[in-house]
Amino acid sequence: MAVADRDRRTKIVATIGPSSRSVEAMIELIRAGADVFRLNFSHGTRSDHAENVARAREAADRTGRQIGLLGDLPGPKLRLSNVEGGVVELEAGREVELTTKEVAGTRERLSLSWEGLPAALKPGDEVYLADGRIRLRVLETAGTDVRCEVEAGGTVSSHQGLNLPGADVPLPSAGHEDLQWVDFACEQGIDLLAISFVRRAEDIAPVERRIRAAGADIPVIAKIEKPEAAERAEEIVKAVLGGIMVARGDLGIELPIERVPTVQRGLLRLAGLHARPSITATQMLASMVSAPRPTRAEVSDVSAAILQGTDAVMLSEETAVGEYPAEAVRVMDRIARATEPDLPYDNWLFNRVATDGDDVAGSVARAAVGSTYTLGLAALIVPTRSGRTARLVSAHRPRVPIVAVSPRIETVRRLQLLFGVSTVIQEDWEGLRDLLDDCARLARDQGVAKSGDLIGITAGLPDMQLGTNLFEIHRVP
């Protein structure tokens, strides 16, 4: 598929689950517009996810499109143990007991493994389940048990998370289970890895060390879903080249919900300022779990995130367990296409990314994007091995297509997350002249420029050890 055939710039992340884990379902998601598949390691076994990886690769091969795979670590979150039948209904007005004893969960009694739960709660405290849809009020704590009243009912399932706003939950940033999933991700060739419940920049280090120990180089993404992370957002953003995910489900429980839109806007601004990719996630089209059309408010929500500069918008339950997974992707695609013409590209060129006088790579990327306006360039072609040059160019949000060309399949897959970046796999060039000439021909072959058009080529020459340090103008033959 030529680059020109996929002119949407905002990327779409679709979560794989029971509704979408067959090869045929994944093919339909790709054809609807999905760019990245998210594998939620909080649900499913290693065997399940190994099958998901193999099926996703097969679906990509059959559609002729490379798809990025994003592994999402469970993180240090309190989770329910198994419930009978996998799902139970909690009715408003009834009582339910939370216990640290290992029992099969029912509507009367739910188990979780943290022994500190009763000591962390007191009568009157709130406990949230199911991304905040279910609210419990603590009535009494005694021994291993916490007696609660169900104030807002609903369905809960095995291994669903609990939120205790304001309670101190001393869990490690990356526990044994998370590090085992990191090993799995390295073995399976996962392209991106999201770290859940990051609280400070130091929380990222154990995962990065584990990746390096496995001989891999998977970029990590910090999920911002705790108040501590929102307060330390800038240090976290600087620490993760893979970017951030604005995980609004837990963020909207841990913070007053009315603050979430402002925090989201600030996080997306910081990601742009430091040239980091960003994903906006959770309940974007939540009504489409059971309905074929979203609400108007949901459409506005997706559009607002795009206008605020997000690289990608994410579907969670909508594609994992929803009744209309492919249609949810198609709706995202239509919203993005309708919103993108109104993006403030001109302002973003000068104001989106911070200026650093000593940053050669950032200055070259800014100059390349600026030249698309002053010289009327039809496209920017970006040869890259690591993907860094493409990330810097994308951060400045040019109006014209960005075509990243790499000999590394890993890089091609990871770049599916970046706003405005399309990718081409290409064998390594023998010399600089071959590279430049081939990029000009490639722009024509990919349909982003026609014969006689001017294009820009920007790259990093490794011998100079300056990162992105080359920018040339070429006329397409």
Tokens 């779409």 found at: 12
CA distance 377 to 368: 10
CA distance 381 to 459: 9
38 is catalytic: yes
Q: Are strands 87-90 and 154-157 parallel, antiparallel or unpaired?
A: antiparallel
Report the residue count for the chain. Answer: 477
Phi/psi of residue 98, nearest 5 degrees:
-100, 130
Per-residue CA distances from 427 to 258, 407, 408 (Å): 50, 5, 8
Q: How many Cβ atoms from other residues are within 10 Å of residue 444's Cβ? A: 18
Catalytic residue among 21, 38, 391, 444: 38
Q: Are strands 11-16 and 36-40 parallel, antiparallel or unpaired?
A: parallel
Tokens 């951060």 found at: 395
CA distance 299 to 315: 13
223 is catalytic: yes
Give residue 253's identity as a one-letter amino acid code.
I
- Is residue 245 within a helix (H) or strand (E), and if so which, with residue range? strand 244-247
Q: Are 344 and 309 in contact (CB under 8 A)?
A: no
Catalytic residue among 21, 57, 135, 223: 223
Catalytic residue among 99, 100, 141, 282: 282
Beta-ladder partners of 68: 36
Q: Which residues are catalytic?
A: 38, 79, 223, 282
